[in-house]
Amino acid sequence: MKPDQPAFEPELTAFTCGYCAYMSGDTAGALRVQYPANVKVVRLPCTGKTDARYLLAAFEQGADGVYVLACPIGNCHHVRGNERAKARVERTQKLLDRIGLGGQRLGIFFLSGGMGESFALAARTMTERVRGLGPSPLRQGIGNRQ
């Protein structure tokens, strides 16, 4: 977080559900909305499948930031999956604080399928937030991974 260092391009991993979130990505593409290129998208059947192990695995593999994209609360295609995602993200943020990496590197956004701009905004928001935090100290990959 030193301001005089050259800006870096954060590597982000986005876990999306297969409904609203993934569709919003399609919409962004159809609308030719610009968003940062360094976002790897992982599609889940529903954000209710979000598992802290996936989120941590993304960081272990060198992600600077991770976020979940879900249907709006109250509109989950599987009724309440997005609520579980929110609860798990919050718990994992606390775990990341304990680990020493910092829970700010993990986020969650809610948007519906037609919101292409929001898909891009989520990507830009996380990118700027993580840019401010600097590259993940684990970025060289963990030598101790088995």
Q: Which parts of this chain interact with another protein (CB under 8 A)?
A: 51-53, 56-57, 59-60, 95, 98-101, 137-138, 142-146
C-beta of 111: minimal distance to another protein in Å?
27
Question: Is 31 or 142 the residue whose CB approaches another protein more closely?
Answer: 142
Question: Is 36 or 62 the residue whose CB approaches another protein more closely?
Answer: 62
Q: Give Cβ neighbours of residue 128 (< 8 Å, ≥ 6 apart).
A: none
C-beta of 144: minimal distance to another protein in Å?
4
C-beta of 91: minimal distance to another protein in Å?
10
C-beta of 26: minimal distance to another protein in Å?
32
Q: What is the DSSP string of the chain?
A: --TTSPP----EEEEE-TTHHHHHHHHHHHTT----S-EEEEE-S-GGG--HHHHHHHHHTT-SEEEEEEPPTT-BTTBSHHHHHHHHHHHHHHHHHHHTS-GGGEEEEE--TT-HHHHHHHHHHHHHHHHHH-S-TTTT--TT--
Question: Is 101 or 133 the residue whose CB approaches another protein more closely?
Answer: 101
Question: Is 27 or 82 the residue whose CB approaches another protein more closely?
Answer: 82
C-beta of 141: minimal distance to another protein in Å?
10
Question: Is 33 or 52 the residue whose CB approaches another protein more closely?
Answer: 52
Rounded to whole angstroms, how far apart are CA atoms 82 and 78? 8
